[in-house]
A and B are shown apart, each in its own frame.
Chain A
Amino acid sequence: MEIQLKLYGSSKMLSDKEILHIELPNNSNIEKLRDVLNQIISEKYLKNNLKNLSKTAAFFSEADEVIADNYQLRDKELISIIPPIGGG
């Protein structure tokens, strides 16, 4: 299965595009997505900049609600990655 991850804040270092397409095993949840994200960060040599991102990021559903680690992802689902925030 594949999900579409909309990038915000520091996660934009992962791609020049707004949305990152990520391949996941079928029936993956957010916890699995965190593991895969961690691998992607390593492969792109971004460990220094994004070392805690897979742990500290939250994820929003299309309804803009935080989704829990056991949330079951659907094929082609669009979700947003929300790195630690700090406006003002």
Chain B
Amino acid sequence: MTLHTALLKTEEAKISSEKAKKFILSKENGAESIFIGRVRNENGGKKVIAVTYDAHDQAVIKSFQTICKDAKSKFDKNAKIFLEHVKGHVPVGEISILIAVSSGHREEAFKICRYILEEIKHKSPIWKKEHYVDGKDEWLPGHSLRPKEEIK
């Protein structure tokens, strides 16, 4: 198996970097690139204590599969890819996304990792609600999936 994608509910499981490293290990691939995204304690001057992630589960899994397969065919068909994202409440400092890639060479490993992250931000239906120190919360703006020519 060369591809693993999952959306983990925070009350059921946590993202494991050890599991990711084991998955991408391959004698054929000499380069590994791992991206870990964590919840930051500040955004736009506001003190953040946690983020709640919402997701359209089926569409997210479909998009993850498509994005990773595209990345392999674009950069390295022998790459091994591990991608997990969380859904639910995530306190500051904890992992929200992990992308691990092994490839024949470093350039492809870096490129695949970056490509997957940027594509997820534009194509996977996931939303963030930030929770602040003062007790308030806010859904963050994002990228519209509505075709641009339809938005008047």
Contacting A87 at CB < 8 Å: which of B53, B62, B144, B150? Answer: B53
Interface hits, A22-76 → B, CB 8 Å: 49, 55-58, 60, 64, 66, 68-69
Residues of A within 8 A of B44 (CB): none
Contacts of A87 in B (CB 8 A): 53, 55, 60, 85, 97, 120-121, 124, 126-128
Report, as a range, how many residues of chain B touch the other chain.
35 or more
Does the CB pair B152–A55 fall under 8 Å?
yes
Question: Which residues of chain B have C-beta atoms less than 8 A from A82's C-beta?
Answer: 56, 125, 145
Q: Does B58 contact A (CB under 8 A)?
A: yes
Q: Which residues of B contact A60 (CB under 8 A)?
A: 56, 59, 125
- Residue in A closest to B7 when the chains form the complex, CB atoms: A87
The answer to whether the Cβ of B1 comes within 8 Å of any Cβ in the partner chain is no
Contacts of A80 in B (CB 8 A): 56
Q: Give A11 to B12 CA distance when docked, in angstroms.
A: 25
Q: Which residues of chain A are near B128, meaning CB under 8 Å?
A: 86-87
Nearest chain-A residue to B118 (Cβ)?
A: A88
A3 and B133 CA atoms in complex are apart in Å by 38
Closest beta carbon of chain A to B68's beta carbon, Å: 15
B113 to chain A, nearest CB (A): 12
Name the one of A10, A49, A66, A68 contacting B145, with C-beta atoms under 8 angstroms: A66
Q: Is the C-beta of B117 less than 8 angstroms from some C-beta in chain A?
A: yes
Q: How far is the CA of A82 from the CA of B142 in the complex (A)?
A: 11
Known A57-B146, A69-B150, A87-B126; 19 more pairs at CB < 8 Å: A49-B139, A56-B144, A56-B146, A57-B144, A68-B150, A84-B142, A84-B143, A85-B122, A85-B125, A85-B126, A85-B127, A86-B140, A86-B141, A86-B143, A87-B120, A87-B121, A87-B124, A87-B128, A88-B126
